[in-house]
Structure 1
């Protein structure tokens, strides 16, 4: 069954590049067991590149036709996502922060990133070294259903997203919504909206969701249909490398 069919437009973006993304990439390249991120996940900030990406996203939103512009913005409470929303909206005339009627991001904790539990801060090499039994359980169960101790499976995240979108449809029927969150939220929203199978969503997930990329669905009278997915053209045209 497809979900989220009462909205006119649904737009999703992943946060801009964070310092955690940079640290994780460096750790993977070096073969380290830990990412080196010291902040708790909720407090990881944007990098300078990430802030530029958020601004470029804002210019893309500002250029939308008036009847496609978001009427509501909802963000993950995590700093990197909330700052992406604020920076992007600051580039749009229809969301002027000093305007009492201006658009400001709402926060919903159900949009937070997937929780890793005891594996937080570890690279795949670190998981294999320190939690070999969990690495084997992940291999056996598969990414979609595996839940690390103290963490969440992809299906756990999908469950909280179902509740989020039900509430969103009730609060803004026929609305045009922008959701600013994390890569797992973008992928699993596609899973829900398009009624995908486990195999289909994991095939899609193999291609990383770009930082500050834009994914859009519009209502065609029968339900939401895809307009674009993981679009980073606005980052290239703005002179900020995609990724």
Structure 2
């Protein structure tokens, strides 16, 4: 097995939750909708269309041939709108639960201010363990995300050997995918913070070279104007 010829990984466009949490910094917010139900804002929809324009502009030898998508609605909607704007015929699309966003378990509805108010002991543990080591109750650490993405990437080498792949997912997935592709040990996981935040509708690209995936661009948003 060998790597895909090319991987493009994109974060979904702005979601309703992104907007709500962004507008409530410092103010407690409990956002009741479940993660898999959250869809795009109007801005997010226009960002998805801009992704489609990026795909349309690619040379034939660089355009994706097959798509892997998170099962969450905001990612599926991003792909659907990007596909429409791209204007090509149907492509094979696989939905893989390993591409879902990092799970926050019991804290999933809370922004940081609400977490401090409702779960002060968890806030203290987060501060003590650090963002990249902390596992919320019933949720995942970034190390857990790395484990499932290593398994995904291993399977991808068999499923998409020599092909050009588009991955539509989430900020945590794109960020930790870089860590996994670079084969960095999880003891160095906190070092990924220098590449954050992953922007809505950003594009990150790797190409196969000499038996390895080489990073060409990361977290690019120039297409959004």
Q: Distance in 1 between matches of 2:164 and 2:204?
A: 13
Output the CA distance in 2 between the equivalents of 1:52 and 1:201. Answer: 29
Matched, 1:92 2:86: yes
SS of corresponding position for 1:180:
strand
**Match of 1:178, SS?**
strand
- TM-score of the superposition, structure 1-length normalised? 0.87
Q: Partner of 2:200 in structure 1?
A: 211
1:133 aligns with 2:121: yes
For structure 1, the residue ranges without an aligned partner over 5 or more in a row are 97-101, 237-243
Q: Work out the CA distance in 2 between the residues paired with 1:122 and 1:24.
A: 9
1:82 aligns with 2:76: yes
* 1:125-204 equivalence runs, <5 A: 125-196=113-184, 197-204=188-195
Q: Is the 8 A contact 2:50 2:223 kept in 1?
A: yes
Task: Write the distance in 1 (CA, Å) between the matches of 2:92 and 2:158.
Answer: 19
CA drift of 1:111 comes to 0.6
Displacement of 1:5 in angstroms is 6.0
**Counterparts of 1:59 and 1:10, CA distance in 2:** 17
In structure 2, relative to structure 1, the CA distance for the partners of 1:5 and 1:137 (3 Å cut) is: farther
Contact 2:33/2:109 (8 A) holds in 1: no
Identify which of 21, 25, 33 aligns with 1:24.
Answer: 21
Structure 2 residue aligned with 1:47, among 41, 45, 58?
A: 41
| 1:67 partner SS | coil
**Structure 2: where are the runs of 5+ without partners?**
none
How many pairs align? 222
Of 46, 51, 54, 1:57 maps to 51
Distance 2:207 2:191 in 1: 21
- Once residues 74 and 192 of structure 2 are traced to their aligned partners in structure 1, the CA distance between those partners, rounded to angstroms, is 25
Task: Name the SS of the counterpart of 2:218 in structure 1.
Answer: strand
Distance in 2, Cα, partners of 1:92 & 1:57: 8
Cα distance change, pair 27–5 in 1 and its aligned pair in 2 (3 A) = farther
- The answer to whether the 8 Å contact 1:55/1:91 transfers is yes
CA distance in 2, matches of 1:200, 1:147: 17
CA distance in 1, matches of 2:202, 2:97: 21
**Kept in 2: contact 1:89–1:103 (CA 8 A):** no
CA contact 2:11–2:168 (8 Å) conserved in 1: yes
After TM superposition, the runs of 4+ consecutive aligned structure 1 residues lying more than 6 A away are none
Cα drift, residue 199 of structure 1:
3.6
Indicate the RMSD between aligned Cα atoms, in angstroms.
Answer: 1.5
On the 8 A contact 2:3/2:211 being kept in 1, the answer is no
| Distance in 2 of aligned mates of 1:180 and 1:221 | 26
